[in-house]
Amino acid sequence: MATVFARAASAHRLLRWQPALTRPNSWIGRSCQSNSAVHAFRRFSTEPSSPPPQPLTNDKPYYVTTPIFYVNAAPHIGHMYSMVLADVFKRWHVLLGNKAFLCTGTDEHGMKVQQAAALADVNPKQFCDDNAKKFEELAHLSRIDYDRFIRTTDHDHVQAVEHFWFLLRDRGLIYEAKHEGWYSVSDECFYPESQVVKYQEPFTGAVYMASAETKSKVEWVEEKNYCFRMTELKDRLLEFYDKNPDWIEPAYRMNEVVDWVKNHLEDLSISRPVQRLSWGIRTPDDPTQTIYVWVDALVNYLTAAGYPNWTPGEAHKGGWPADLHIVGKDILRFHCIYWPALLMALDLPLPKKVLVHSHWTLNKKKMSKSTGNVVNPLYAINRWGIDTARFYLLSEGGIADDADYNNDTLVVKYKKYLQWGLGNLLGRLTRSKAWKLNEIVQDSFCEKTKASRAEIPESLRQPMAGLESALAALAPTVAGRMEKNNPVGAIRKIMETCSLLNEFLTRTQPWSLIKSDNPADRAAAEMVLFLAAEGLRISGILLQPFLPDKAWRLLDILGVDQERRTFSHAVLRCDSQYGHSMAPPGSGRADGLFPPLIEDMDVEFGGSAKRRRKKATGEQPVS
């Protein structure tokens, strides 16, 4: 009788839930061979405008870059965000089966670095060596799978910049002139008169001339230097923007760039007198001048791709043109006006896409080291763990709009999506004594089990069909969002699916049905468990670019072979061999994939966790 009531209750719960699911005509799945990722994309994708992902067919690697970071100050959470975004795109293309190349690094020349080294009373090179290590350490701790950590003091980069300068000079695009204008040391650039305003600093009340765009202080400078004939490229720039309206993402940033080129474009001062700036690459034909830091810095993307030592016809083998530049909104103009103009001047291919992300704020205010309003990424990694920190940045980070860093929000997200979502789902499937996951998986592929499924009541079969089609759509939907450079939407889709699977288990209660003497009940339980395991397996595969450590452990616990973790395996019924755990699933919440936070453990276990932490850190325990 209890079994009958359990079956009836499950059917009732599923009927209430059913409208949220799509329902194909048949819920019986096809084999891995016929249900390929591309086929699933075409049939089930909710974003049909995006083509199915395809491995690259030529020998050019997918090339993604972060901006290279100034070493005048320690890294902050915004630097980590740029790195993690680039890492996700690099890992995603590796998941697709493509060669991929990621470049990150440090910008070590210029006035800001020179002044910071002087304030620290340290030789500029030593200052750069010390601070570059901090950024490289951040990249390691953040699990950034970079291929080149470039420094603008690297010998091959200096040679590339000198070569670039000679070519500009050879084409008559550099001329000597007396230059005067408003210069910002903080922004390392001149601003036209139309972009300078009188500004009052809100914290100190100081009044000074500043950039209308960045509010950075500017000073009037008159000096002899070299200029780049950028205005001669105005029409070519505007034509390029017109023909490539999606070149910058988000699209509204293009309006800012076009407006600047139309209304504020001037020839670019590309050197500084050595008397004012000695820390940098000297102009090859005039040792009294130092090359402008932004010309120096932007060329790094070429250096990492092997420039100028390209074999004719094979420049693409090093990765150029870049497939994706990831930059912060504060350096939009340098990457989307100066950089394409410099490349056009030498008839070099332009990068294919520039993704401009917004800033992280703290308490709704822009982060600033001068006010102490910053988030140290090393502290965040140490407190929350790297994959938790990555998850928060990726799921909450702002592309179009600024995002506010908030520890309380991070805790909520951790509990909802990681601990009680992904981690709980894994525990429910792998820790139960009522079934063996490997047998559930293997039985789902045998003809005898398929025949017994025909006995499952219609009220259960239809919701199962809806869930199956949702799982079939998961990989292509995530791929579509990644194709549209939307990693935030991609990871949210995966987490929504995990929540859906947890709800499916709660409503069907397979742990009750599997104990039944009725074959239809057992068949229903096994089908529910198999679909949940498949959803978790597919989710784990797709999460590898986002949460590399946790996703790898999840797949180990599920027993997914390392050779079956590619995008082509992220489809239903593509793997009949998993289920034998290759890593311990843990015995409960405390040792799960995403255990309770230390603060929660202190409450749950009566302070024992706090005592263990104090002992481990050398703190004196409270009696």
List the structure tokens of 387.
């994959």
User: Which helix or strand (DSSP H or E) is residue 237 part of?
Assistant: helix 234-243
Average pLDDT, integer, range 72-94? 96
**pLDDT beyond 90 at 374:** no
**pLDDT beyond 70 at 306:** yes
Average pLDDT, integer, range 219-247? 93
Surface-to-core class of residue 308, CB atoms within 10 Å of its CB (0-12 exposed, 13-18 middle, 19+ buried): middle
User: Which helix or strand (DSSP H or E) is residue 63 part of?
Assistant: strand 62-65
Confidence of residue 373 (pLDDT cuts 50, 70, 90): confident
**DSSP per residue, 285-310:** TEEEEEE-HHHHHHTHHHHHTTTT-P
C-alpha distances (whole Å) from 611 to each of 146, 383, 606, 622 are 39, 17, 10, 8
pLDDT given for residue 184 in this prediction? 73
pLDDT > 90: what percent of the chain? 67
Average pLDDT, integer, range 555-561? 97
Of 329, 337, 387, the closest CA to residue 355 belongs to 329
**Three-state SS at 268:** strand
pLDDT tens-digit readout, 11-60:
444 433 433 333 333 333 334 543 433 333 333 334 544 455 655 557 89
**How many Å separate Cα 434 from the centre of its chain?**
39
pLDDT tens-digit readout, 495-527:
999 999 999 999 999 999 898 888 888 889 999
Mean pLDDT of the chain: 85
Q: What is the pTM of this model?
A: 0.84
pLDDT given for residue 14 in this prediction? 40
Count of C-beta atoms within a 10 Å radius of residue 264: 14
Confidence of residue 619 (pLDDT cuts 50, 70, 90): very low
Q: Which domains are delineated in the chain?
A: 2-52+408-582 (1.10.730.10), 593-623 (no CATH)
**pLDDT beyond 50 at 604:** no
**If you average pLDDT over each of 24-33, 410-419, 458-467, which comes out highest?**
410-419
- 455 phi, psi to nearest 5 deg: -85, -10
**pLDDT beyond 70 at 8:** no
pLDDT given for residue 10 in this prediction? 43
pLDDT given for residue 327 in this prediction? 97
Beta-bridged to residue 325, according to DSSP, are: 65, 354
Count of C-beta atoms within a 10 Å radius of residue 348: 16
Confidence of residue 588 (pLDDT cuts 50, 70, 90): confident
Of 52, 33, 32, 30, the closest CA to residue 42 belongs to 52
178 Cβ neighbours under 8 A, 6+ residues apart? 222, 223, 224
pLDDT given for residue 470 in this prediction? 95
**Three-state SS at 21:** coil
First to last CA, the chain: 54
List the structure tokens of 178.
């007396």
Beta-bridged to residue 248, according to DSSP, are: 354
Count of C-beta atoms within a 10 Å radius of residue 388: 22
186-195 burial, b for 16+ CB within 10 Å, e for fewer? bbbbbbeeeb
* C-alpha to C-alpha distance for 505 and 428, rounded to whole angstroms: 9
Average pLDDT, integer, range 380-384? 94
pLDDT given for residue 607 in this prediction? 45
* C-alpha to C-alpha distance for 479 and 459, rounded to whole angstroms: 32
